[in-house]
Amino acid sequence: MNKARFLDRSTPPHVMTLVLVAGVAALSMNVFLPSLAAMSVYFGTDYAVMQFAVSGYLAATAVLQLVIGPLSDRFGRRPVMLVSIVLMIVATLICTFAPNITVFMIGRVLQAAIASGFVLARAIVRDMVPAEQAASMIGYVTMGMSVVPMVGPTVGGFLNDLAGWQASFAFVGMSAVVVLLLVFFDMGETNRQKSASFAAQFQAWPQLLRSTRFWGYALTCTLSSGLFFSFLGGAPFVGSVLYGLTPAVLGMQFFFMATGYMLGNFVSGRYASRIGIPVMMLAGNVIALVGIVIAYLLLQLDLGSHYEFFIPLALIGVGNGVTLPSANAGMVSVQPHLAGSASGLGGALTIGGGAMLSVVASSLLSEEAGTTHLLLVMLVNGVLAVATSAYAGRQERRHAQRLLRGEA
């Protein structure tokens, strides 16, 4: 495959283009989180209903990933990416000018079209380089991408204080227009093995679903990401209700998680190709589990500061940054000719599981219980994540042994 040249549509996209596309997807997910309380007042609805802007978006993203991957395997990465970004821009306009909560939620669910940013970035990387290199490259892509969620809620909090919650969606819309132009002029097609038909991709799913290697990677992604989505579901309530933080100050707390994620991605980009996928996955989940344990122990000390919740959980960001690039690279390498479908199906499992964990986490929060129930859910999730990453590593080693014996 030709080497990427910036703003040359005859070559693969520049890595910065992939970073920005995935970054807009991350931005649309979390930029408005500090405004949830203000939005519930604006629309005259309960905070629990407003929380659907997070869980409903994640559920829609999960469903769309089932389609985006096979579509890109059939028609190519470039056209699917362009159409998805256009749909996302239209949906953002609907959210910005929504007259009531129903119209807003319709627009919010349609915004999930930008899920292509997550799905296709992984598939494009796998189109370009082999599996071990893909883990490192995905690590660098997501390291750059993590800058966006790091500043997103902070920017969203300040925009809310300056011009209301609508300003956050206007910012997302303008960012998406810029990315649309960048993709149009820079992103060449990377799928050189298009499938014969769209239906053929779904017929190929049994190959993935019968693979213990695929399930090992997919479950590792699901449970590792579930830690972050649990945080995403609970952090707005913890910050605004339990600790009385303003939207701007609450937004700044996301710096800890996202900085940790960027650090983890840096480690992944630097060492994944040398250390190997199985070790990286397991190490990342152990780091995340340690952070949850520290947060729970600090809770018992009752320090009365929001930092006792937000700072230790930054280790979830570090852990995800170490685990997810390797798990994603492994997932799309089980059947390389089905990279788009594997990315979409695995992404649907990951985001769908994340949506459920986000709902569970937010439903357990109350002023009386504080953060106790949320941290316990995350603790159980963390233990399961460690177990599945160990399982995935064992399956990968068995596969390597079969290859050496000429059995696969």
Q: What domains does the chain contain, in order, with CATH numbers?
A: 15-189+197-404 (1.20.1250.20)
Contact 292, 316 (CB under 8 A): yes
366: phi then psi, degrees, rounded to nearest 5: -155, 160
Structural contact between residues 169 and 175, judged by C-beta atoms closer than 8 angstroms: no
133, 125 Cβ separation under 8 angstroms: no
Alpha carbon of residue 122 to chain centroid:
11
Q: Write the Ramachandran bin of 201: left for phi over 0, alpha for psi from -120 to 50, otherwise beta.
A: alpha
Q: What's the pLDDT at 407? A: 63
Q: Quick one: DSSP state of residue 100?
A: S
82 pLDDT more than 80: yes
Question: Tens digits of per-residue pLDDT, 378-408?
Answer: 999 999 999 999 999 898 888 778 777 776 5
- Phi and psi at 370, nearest 5°, equal 65, -135
Q: Is 406 helix (H, G, I), strand (E, B) or coil?
A: coil
> Which residue, 16, 17, 43, 19, is CA-closest to 32?
43
pLDDT at 87: 93
| Residues contacting 156, CB < 8 A, separation 6+ | 30, 31, 32, 33, 34, 35, 168, 171, 247, 251
> Is 8 strand, coil or helix?
coil
DSSP string for 387-398: HHHHHHHHHHHH
Q: Identify the residue whose tokens are 């204080």.
A: 161
What lies within 8 Å, CB to CB, of 210 at 6+ separation is none
pLDDT digits (tens, 9 = 90+) for 179-228: 999 999 988 888 777 766 666 666 667 877 888 888 999 999 999 988 98
pLDDT of residue 270: 81
Kindly state the helix (H) or strand (E) to which residue 297 belongs, with its residue range: helix 277-301
Band of residue 273 on the pLDDT scale cut at 50, 70, 90: confident
| Pair of tokens at residue 355 | 């949506």
* Distance, C-alpha 120 to centroid of its chain: 13
**Which of 166-170, 261-265, 324-328 has the largest mean confidence?**
166-170
Dist. CA 151–CA 147, nearest whole Å: 6
Q: How many CB atoms lie within 10 A of CB 386?
A: 22
What global pTM score does this model have? 0.73
> pLDDT averaged over the chain?
83
| Lookup: tokens for 242 | 């339990």
| Closest CA relative to residue 383, chosen from 182, 227, 174, 199 | 227
Concatenated DSSP letters of 146-201: THHHHHHHHHHHHHHHHH-THHHHHHHHHHHHHHHHHHHHH------S--S-HHHH
Euclidean distance between CA atoms 348 and 70, whole angstroms: 12
The per-residue pLDDT for 149 is 62
Q: In whole angstroms, what is the distance from residue 2 CA to residue 190 CA?
A: 9
What is residue 334's three-state secondary structure? coil
310-354 pLDDT, tens digit each: 999 999 989 998 998 888 888 877 776 666 677 777 877 887 887
